[in-house]
Amino acid sequence: MAAELPTVTLPSGEAVPQLGQGTWRMGETARARQEEVAALKLGLDLGMTLFDTAEMYANGIAEEIVAEAIDGRRDEVFLVSKVLPENASRAGTIKACERSLKRLKTDRIDLYLLHWRGRVPLAETLEAFLALQAAGAIRYWGVSNFDIEDMEELFELNGGAHCATNQVLYNLRRRGIEAGLLPWSREHRMPIMAYSPIEQGRLLRDRTLVSIAARHDTTPAQIAIAWVLRQKDMIVIPKAGSEVHVRQNRAALDLSLSKEDLAELDRAYPAPKRLVPLELL
Is residue 66 exposed (0-12), middle (13-18) or buried (19+ Cβ within 10 Å)? Answer: buried
In whole angstroms, what is the distance from residue 43 CA to residue 26 CA?
15
Residue 5 DSSP code: -
Residue 105 neighbours by CB distance under 10 Å? 14
| H, E, C per residue of 102-157 | HHHCCCCEEEEEECCCCCCCHHHHHHHHHHHHHHCCEEEEEEECCCHHHHHHHHHC
Pairing of β 78-83 and β 109-114: parallel
Contact 28, 35 (CB under 8 A): no
Q: In what order do the strands lie in the sheet with 235-236?
A: 21-22, 50-52, 78-83, 109-114, 138-144, 166-169, 192-195, 235-236
Is 57 annotated in the active site? yes
With a CB cutoff of 8 Å and minimum separation 6, the contacts of 5 are 17, 18, 19, 47, 48, 49, 253
Residue 189 neighbours by CB distance under 10 Å? 10
Give the residue numbers annotated as catalytic, written as ranges. Answer: 57
